[in-house]
Every structure is written in C-alpha cells, then in structure tokens.
Amino acid sequence: MHIETLKVFCDLADLRSFSKTAEKHLLSQSAVSQQVAQLELTLKCQLLDREKRPLELTPAGELLYRACREILDRYGQFKSELNALKSSAGSRINVAAIFSIGMHTLPDYVKTFMVSYPNVNVHIEYFSAQRIYELVLSGDIDIGLVAVPKKDKRLEVYEFENEPLILACSPKHPLSRESQVDIHKLQFERFIAFEKDVPTREWIDNILQHYNVVVRPVMEFDNIETIKRAVEINSGVSVLPQTAILQEVSGGSITAIPFSNENFFRPTGIIVRKGKILSQAGRYFIELLRKKAK
C-alpha cells in the first residue's frame, strides 16, 4: 500500500464521490476505482458500499480510514522533521500565502526578518486557501498565511493582521464622491464578489446579511487581482481589504471609501502543522509575524 493510495482512499471517504476524488488528485475515475479495488484485494475485504449514494464505508472501510489518517498524519510529521533536519542551518523557510497577503502584507515582514537572518531564504508561494491547508498538513510547506482561518485539530492557528475592509469602486461610480458610505447604499448595487468557496466571500456575505443588504453579484472571481481589474473598468463595486488596493488608490484607478456603520475587517491567520519542528529562523519568523501583527 503506497502513501498516495492511502491519500486517495481517505479523500474518497471524505468526499464520498469518485468524480470529486479523481478531480482532486488529477486522476481518472477509473484509476481511483482501481486503487480502491487493489486495496480490497490486498486486505481481502470490501471497503465501500457501492450501492448507496453517496458512497458509504463498510465497517472494514471505517477501520482502514482511521488507520490511514494516523499513518498520513505521522508521515506528514516525518516529512516536516526531515525538512527541518535538511534546513538545520536555517537556509530556507517555505511559506505559502494567499495572493493578497503574500503580495501586499508580507514583504515588510520579510524585510524586517532579513535584518536578523540575512542568509535565510524566505521562499514564498501563492496558492488558494484550500491548497495552503493541504500543503501545510502534508508537511510540504512550513508556514501558511490565509484569510478567515478555520480551526483544525491538526493545526496551530495564530492571529495575524485584521485587514480593514472598504468599499472599492471606480472613480466614475456615483459613490466615489462620498467621503464615507453607509453600507445600506450597496442595496441592489452591481457587485464584484469572490467565488463561493473563497473564505472571504462567506465573511463579506455575513456582513451584508447582518445589515440586511442585498447586492447583485454580476461577476465572481477566485482572486483579488481580477476583482480589482473588474472594479477599475466600472463593472461594479466590491468590498476589499484596504491593504490590497493601496497601489490602485494611489494611481487613481480605484477609489477606496470607508464605511460609516462600523470598522469592518477581514481576519487573517498563520497556520502551522501541530508537532512540526521548525528551525530557529522559522520560529523567529512566526514570532515576528505575531508580534508585529499585535
């Protein structure tokens, strides 16, 4: 039984769908089915009740699922410890961040960090929040930075910056002349939104719902850069972190307007796999992020 096969089986148990599991692992449904069949042949027992929809695990399947989770968690911890051992000289820290944090918030922290550790390479990659959680849990990334962090018993989650949320609109939009705006003025406005599986989308939706504001989503994107481009051409307004549009505001392509109702914000967080062994430089980097954020 290979580690990748165990990962496929666990994801199949979680997603209860051959198609979704195949898509996640970039495999065909047939390949996923064959891997499960091979497991059943090796263990000489049925793992799935294929007659039920969605799929359900048999008692043997439940037993294997629990064992696989322990194996994968321990393997992830081993990879973390091995990576820390390889970088015991502190030569590299692998960081994964959502694009807006990595591009607009993190650089100042890295500059401060480099004063104390000039020989350490802080390697930053940009991924979706879901992918960052996967990479941190698998041990392939040391530190993750996400918006609206979720709790997970396998992760240490630390508070990072609370990013102020403002109304972003084109200078051509009627609301651009306001020094402050009541959130109720967004009622039925054309709205450029994050896609529904982006955590910030749910956070903003909850704010609008709290004030009984109904907007008209005309476009949905999975990243903040594309949303900004749509706002610039006056396709609609959006609610965005202020730090992510400083360059556009300075250049005059987007107008940022604070809300008069209250100081809305988007929480961000630092995620690290529990039990992960970090180099001294890695521990210092996390301490720096937490200290400066406070």
Which pTM was predicted? 0.70
Enumerate the β-bridge partners of residue 220. 193
| Residues whose CB falls within 8 Å of the CB of residue 61, separated by 6 or more in sequence, listed in order | 13, 46, 47, 48
Q: Are 119 and 249 in contact (CB under 8 A)?
A: no
Q: Which CATH architecture has domain 3-74?
A: Orthogonal Bundle (1.10)
Q: Are 165 and 241 in contact (CB under 8 A)?
A: yes
- Work out the percent of the chain whose per-residue pLDDT is above 90: 77
pLDDT tens readout for residues 19-63? 999 999 989 999 999 999 999 999 999 999 888 888 899 999 999
Q: Please tell me the distance from the alpha carbon of residue 103 to that of residue 9, in angstroms, as a whole number.
A: 36
Residues of the chain below pLDDT 70? 1, 84-90, 292-294
The residues spanned by each domain of the chain are: 3-74, 84-161+267-293, 163-266
The H or E element containing residue 13 is helix 3-15
Would you state the pLDDT for residue 1? 63
Would you state the pLDDT for residue 294? 61
Residue range 163-266, CATH number: 3.40.190.290
Do 3-74 and 84-161+267-293 come out as alike in CATH topology?
no
Enumerate the β-bridge partners of residue 95. 124, 143
Would you state the pLDDT for residue 157? 96
Would you state the pLDDT for residue 216? 96
Cα 250 from chain centroid (whole Å): 28
Q: Please tell me the distance from the alpha carbon of residue 236 to that of residue 220, in angstroms, as a whole number.
A: 11
Residue range 84-161+267-293, CATH number: 3.40.190.10
